[in-house]
Chains A and B, each alone.
Chain A
Amino acid sequence: MSLFSYAAAQGYIRARLARLLDRATWDRLLGARTPAELRQLLLETAVAPAVLRDGTIVLQILRGEACSAGRALARFLPRGSRELVAWYNRRFEIENLKTVLRAVHYHLERSRALSSLVPLQSGWRWEALLEVGSVAGVIDQVRESPYARPLEHAMERYTQEHRLFYLEVAIDLFYFQRLVRLIEAESGANEADARKFLGRWIAIENLLWAYRYRIYGRMTPEEIINYTLHRAFAVGLDTIRRVALGSPLAIEAGRLGLQPSVGLSEAETLTEMEHQAERERFELASAIISRPLARLGGILGYLWLLDGEVHDLTVLVEGKASGLSSAEIARRFLRAA
């Protein structure tokens, strides 16, 4: 049955794969001498909808399209996988919710907040949320959503200390804990794919959170443990405890198969690991997409490729705007130069 469900998803993906920018196009885009030339070149590609008529490049439009693709694909899948992909796709919604919370908390300009929102066709009234005058008001507005409960739990602490961190960490933990449960509920080949793609991603994220809390947040061991996942595949409670007690990042990253460079500070290693993990995701996605896609891995791989494309386009647009050389920009890409 699931094989047949995946047939429709495969049809959808195969029909859309051609929209991903090919290597030659990337080379052409990299070769653009000015931001204006880059805009012109982008208009000739499949990502032209992200270039508005006034010349502004709004890559959030592409992220909105990636979210729509995830939603459409989830609808084709059998129940367990559908729930998993649909929940995974909620990351865009969470990102928007965090944007709204930040905008309200820091009293950001409405236009600035609006431009940071991913345009989602999800039934949420994002603009109306931005109009709410307080963080408590925002939480009240989303009371029917699954995020209300974790947000309410963290609200007391937020009210006392006025730090958004508590709300953000509460949503993240809630989102990832459920994602872990959904992955564990899969079986057979789909479970293997879910673990290989999402499981490893979650494990690495969990490890990096722990180090961010330790390095940038200077948090105590008990705080680090409370703000990370206790069950996250290769990075469980034992690993988090080691991190909390001071285990070096190079060692823990090495255990996960990542390859930190020698002689870097922990903060530099952390940045390096973040990029390495993103690159690894992209390579995995590129490898799976060239094979038959009749499994969950194919769906996730495609969604990751969409994410990767937006990542690299962001690097490209920002890099060109800041006058970086093509080689410097290419080095920051997820795809191989």
Chain B
Amino acid sequence: MSILAPEPMLEANLFVLEADVEVVTAALARMEALHLEDSVPEGWKPSPEWTELADRYGRLRARLDEMFKVLGSKPLPQSPAAGDLYPGRDWRDIEARLAGPEETIQAFERQLKEAEQESERLKLSESQIELLLPLDMPVEGLRQLQYQAVSVGIMPSENIPRVAEALFQIPFILIPLESRKDRTLLLAASSTDHAAILDRALKSAFFEPIALPPEALGRPTEALKSLRRKAEELQVRLKDLDHRRKEMARELWPELSSLWRRATADGKLAEAIRRFPKYREISLISGWVPASELEKVRKAVESAAGHPIAMEVLKADPSRQSVPSLVRSPRWLEPFEELVTTFGLSSYNEIDPTPIVTVSFLIMYGMMFGDLGHGLLLLVAGLWLRRRHLDFGVLVAAAGASGMLFGLLYGAAFGQPIVHPAWLRPLEGMWTILAAAVAGGVLLLNIGFGLNLANAWRSKDWPRLLLKKNGVVGIALYWFVGIALYKALLAGGPGVGFRVPPKSVLLPIPVLCALLWMHEPLARWIWHHPSRPRGEAVVTGFFELFEAVTGYLSNSLSFIRLGAFAVAHEGLSALVAGYSKGRGGWLVLLLGTVLLVGFEGVIVGIQAIRLEYYEFFGRFFEGRGVPFEPLSLRTGGNHASVGVRV
């Protein structure tokens, strides 16, 4: 296994007897080594029996979820079900064991809901009656208004101004009475002539009317007293119910949790099995297995079935198949994977650039942020983040360490020249560091070219390998143009001016340009590669050639920013150090350092990412891989439950 290449995959087709399909699928799911094929034979439909079973387990899980919700607890999602799984019949047992607790919980829920609704209703009634306290008249009198349409109810608070705007055609009154969370108790009134408009406007603003409580009789003070007495009695009842809920949860949780895990696991198996194509008594389980795990898979399924299983193993053909890619990075590389996966996942045919990106990112970062002191601060910040279980912290710490290393090369800490530089001080050796930055960029681009050749070779894409702008022709053109420019502008030394490069350098350039220009017709002619109509290919080829040549130059020179940022960092650091010598200098040093580390630390990170994504990845990386997601029993495991993620 190489850390640069995705794990080799084999296509495994298992021909399984109907009687064995459950145990074999369960064994595969427990192994987590088979990525099921997405596609199915033309005209084939999923098995209706297993679809019904998958739905049945979905419903069982929903019922269990509902019960957990009532009990205010949750199952442990990560632990798969113990024991053997038989999704074809397990549901009977689950349903039987579920019935008793469900009945108890539902009865309890009904009581709880009734009590809660009653409590809520009493609270609202109280609020309404409180508002009527100034009225010295019986509440029932309000129910008999003749010339006013009055509604009291709750409405999302943000909708009140909207209703006011919507009622622009009629005279109306809106009185917000009391706000609770994001809703407001509102009194709305208009004349009875406009009652219909008022009603429509209120309804369309999600107004929920509240009828005056029927039990509120007599003067408001008397009615309120009676309501409060009832509310107190209800509170005692709600406390009792809560106590009972906790007891029930303690008692029922182990059983319900076990049923939930079983229903989840069986549901996943049923979901997988329903998609297996079947011919008479034989089901076909088709998927991708890492080559290193094939034998283990074979042994596991045969042991589960109790007899040999017919298995066809085919080599992956990425040119016609969508092969999932499984990149197993060493532990130390994992925190850096996100640098690549943010852009995309390497496909099966592509070399995974994570190790190269990690090294090049850290070098670029350190070069732009070279300072022992600033790097140390970043290192400490990174380690602190890591202690808080943020993987991102490792990246920050490594960037800090790289900054420290370059700080030694530049001989600087907190902007002060504290030691003799092992290499140079950026401000003094500005031209050297700019040239070194471009040289580093050229090296990285050429690594990108190399990776493109390797990727093209792996996918047997000969036009890409030989004729395209990042293939052999393109690389040769890049070097000849580069050497010609060097000979013309720089080889004579400073101030010499333009010199005509030698013919041995100049002559291949037009030939290579012509090959690159005509790459599409040539690919069609040599490999019968599909291409655009000839005229169109010639015209677009010319523009592509132009873009390729300017791209070579701009991509190479783009790396000059590495040197420029190094110079800027030293300049800014020196400035902060300079101003921190007077009174209150510690404050200047503190603020300046925070600004430099926080502000510039982010900027150089972004610049390094930009160089990776555009200049480097542009040479070779597509990043459109399909992730290897094996059949699994874990909640959040994929494939058996397409699209479900936790």
Contact = CB atoms under 8 A, between A and B. Distances in A.
Contact of A28 (B42, B46, B532): B532
A123 B646 contact: yes
Interface stretch (A190-198, A200-208, A221-229, A249-257): A221-229
B610 A7 contact: yes
A221 B642 contact: no
A131 B270 CA distance: 14
A166 B206 CA distance: 9
Interface stretch (A114-122, A305-313, A319-327): A114-122
A226 B167 CA distance: 10
Contact of B167 (A10, A11, A114, A222): A222
Interface centre among B55, B201, B610, B617, by most A CB within 10 Å?
Answer: B610
B145 interface: no
A54 B611 contact: no
Q: How many of chain A's residues touch chain B, expressed as a range?
A: 35 or more
A273 to B, nearest CB: 24
B642 A12 contact: no
B166 A15 contact: no
Nearest to A226: B204
Interface in B115-166: 156, 159, 161-163, 165-166
Nearest to B537: A24
A328 to B, nearest CB: 23
A4 B62 contact: no
A218 interface: no
B208 interface: yes
A268 interface: no
B204 A44 contact: no
B603 A15 contact: no
A1 B603 contact: yes
Given A4-B607, A230-B165, A49 B624 contact: yes
A54 B642 CA distance: 17
A170 B58 CA distance: 29
A36 to B, nearest CB: 12
B643 interface: yes
A241 interface: yes
20 contacts: A10-B610, A10-B614, A11-B610, A11-B611, A53-B39, A54-B39, A54-B41, A110-B55, A114-B642, A119-B643, A123-B646, A127-B642, A127-B643, A127-B644, A150-B156, A221-B166, A225-B166, A225-B168, A226-B162, A226-B204
Contact of B643 (A54, A76, A117, A223): A117
| Chain A interface mostly | helix
Given A128-B644, A226-B159, A153 B206 contact: yes
B607 A125 contact: no
Interface in B310-327: 321-322
A127 B603 contact: no
Interface in A292-309: none
A33 interface: no
Interface centre among B161, B182, B321 (most CB of A within 10 A): B182
B209 to A, nearest CB: 10
A52 interface: yes
Contacts of A119: 643
Interface residues of B, number: 61
Contacts of B204: 222-223, 226-227
A126 B69 CA distance: 19
A8 B343 contact: no
B39 A222 contact: no
B250 interface: no
A215 interface: no
Interface in B46-76: 46, 55, 58-59, 61-62, 69
B566 to A, nearest CB: 15
Interface of B: 38-42, 46, 55, 58-59, 61-62, 69, 156, 159, 161-163, 165-169, 182-183, 197, 200-201, 203-206, 208, 321-322, 342-343, 530, 532, 536, 540, 599, 602-603, 606-607, 609-615, 617-618, 624, 641-646
Contacts of A124: 645
A43 to B, nearest CB: 9
Grouping DSSP codes into helix (H, G, I), strand (E, B) and loop, the B interface class, with mixed when no group exceeds half, is: helix
B448 to A, nearest CB: 12
Interface in A1-58: 1, 4-5, 7-8, 10-12, 14-15, 22, 24-25, 28, 44, 49, 52-55
A118 to B, nearest CB: 10
Contacts of A75: 342
Contacts of B168: 221, 225, 241
A62 to B, nearest CB: 11
A11 B614 contact: yes
A318 interface: no
A11 B614 CA distance: 5
A166 B156 CA distance: 14
Given A15-B617, A123-B645, A123-B646, A8 B42 contact: no
Given A12-B343, A124-B645, A225 B200 contact: no
Closest 9 CB pairs of A and B: A11-B614, A11-B610, A53-B39, A131-B58, A222-B201, A226-B204, A222-B166, A225-B166, A8-B606
Contact of A11 (B38, B166, B530, B609): B609
Nearest to A237: B165
A156 B540 contact: no
Contacts of A149: 156, 182
A211 B159 CA distance: 21
A269 B421 CA distance: 73
Nearest to B157: A153
Given A4-B606, A122-B645, A157-B206, 17 more contacts: A5-B606, A8-B613, A49-B322, A53-B39, A55-B42, A76-B606, A114-B642, A117-B643, A127-B641, A127-B642, A131-B58, A153-B183, A157-B203, A223-B201, A225-B162, A226-B159, A237-B165
